Amino acid sequence: MMIKFHLLGVILLCQSTFSFANTVVLGDNLLLNPGFEVNIDGWLLPTEAKIMAGSNTNQSSFLLMQATYIEDNGYNNQIQASQCVAIGNAEEFEVRADFNYQKSPIIAYGHRLNLVWYEGGKCDQGGQYGTYLQPKKTLGWQTLHDGSIKAALNAKSVQLTLVQNQRTSAIELSLLEKWWSELLSFFGFFYAPELAQGAWDNITLIPTKLVKNTPAELRFSSEYSLPRGDNYLKNPSFDSKAHWRVWHGGQWVANEEGTNHGALKTSLSSKTNSLGTGAFSQCINLGRGDVFETGIRFKADPESSQTGGGRIRVSWYQDLNCKGRYTTSGRHADPKVIEGWQELHVPELIPAKGARSVVVSVIKSIHGPGQHSAFWDDAYFRESKK
């Protein structure tokens, strides 16, 4: 998509410590040193994170995250503590963590727990964002919990990170602090507000379901196979909205079209900055085929007050009808900022191992404050011609 997610300037930890087990036992915590009782064992920590002791509910050790403030420079600045673990033959998990905001923050996005799945056993191949747990805006210890997390399709390891954003975790300023900040700014000085400290403890990643071996021949079914080059998508020319799952801001229009009657129009507004969100999608059951391609036609609405774009991509699913574990392909296509119709094309899409269905999805985006609309038409997903 046309939004640029700036990662330069992010304080990243290039590698994580990792633990491995030959077998995974249901109910066991896969994380090493989950309560930080053995100092930093099992964890890779930034310098801004410290092991503390004796002030939490059970008077045991905990991890205190305290980043320094960085002005809004367009980058996603953050510190993170991390641990990588192999997941063996587990496919569903329960995650739990205790968290404490030391002071009340402006918003609750400053601290959170992230999970990223990897196809390599050491968090070293691919990278599929999974989910996150986010603390509520409240003082005192709270428990974060998600008991139904599915690993990405073909994942062999997961990296758990405790993150503090260096712009969105500033605490509320008092009237005196606001006056002082404005005064310093007037004279050209930078005032760094205090960031909301976050304490983490008792973190668990527990497998709750193991993978069932599925015969390889069940992956394909002649029932869903089409001749090479035929379009698997239904209503690809948007003669209506039938067969498409369309999110808020999408409407069928008859006065804009690519090669057939009608098109789908999507709109997105923003009051502050760039953003992107899901627009529409369709689920397809896979037939036989080793290499596929997908594409769609795109036209920006010239009456938009802001530029914008979108992205077409696919996600492979383990079961029919786009159910079960999935992984999103890293291959995609984004439109250029030009007038008129253009084609977005993603070639050489190789199904993930064991995939039996696929979602073709489109994301819409806007490049800053304002409103942006676009027209979409003539979508396809088909087995590539040799």
Q: What is the pLDDT along the chain (386 residues), one digit of tens a residue?
A: 333 333 333 333 334 444 444 578 899 999 999 999 888 899 999 888 888 886 555 568 999 988 877 766 656 678 899 999 999 999 999 999 999 987 766 665 689 999 999 999 999 888 889 999 999 888 889 999 999 999 999 999 999 999 988 766 666 656 676 677 677 767 777 666 677 788 999 999 999 999 876 544 445 567 888 999 999 999 999 988 889 999 876 778 866 655 557 899 999 898 877 888 899 999 999 988 889 999 999 999 999 999 998 999 999 999 999 999 999 998 999 999 899 999 999 999 999 998 999 999 999 999 989 999 999 999 999 999 76
* Contact call for residues 206 and 90 (beta carbons, < 8 A): no
Q: 200: closest CA among 101, 339, 88, 328?
A: 101
pLDDT recorded at residue 276 = 87
DSSP of 287-354:
-S-S-EEEEEEEEE-TT-SS-EEEEEEEEEEEETTTEEEEEEEEEEE---S-SS-EEEEEEEEPPPTT
- Asked if 262 contacts 240 with a C-beta cutoff of 8 angstroms, the reply is yes
User: At 218, is the secondary structure helix, strand, or coil?
Assistant: helix
Nearest to 1 by CA among 254, 258, 363: 363
Instruction: Name the β-bridge partners of 277.
Output: 364
Give φ, ψ of 42 to 5 degrees: 90, -15
Predicted local distance difference test score (pLDDT) of residue 2: 38
> Residue 150: beta bridge partners?
92
pLDDT at position 174 is 63
Q: Looking at residue 23, what is its pLDDT?
A: 73
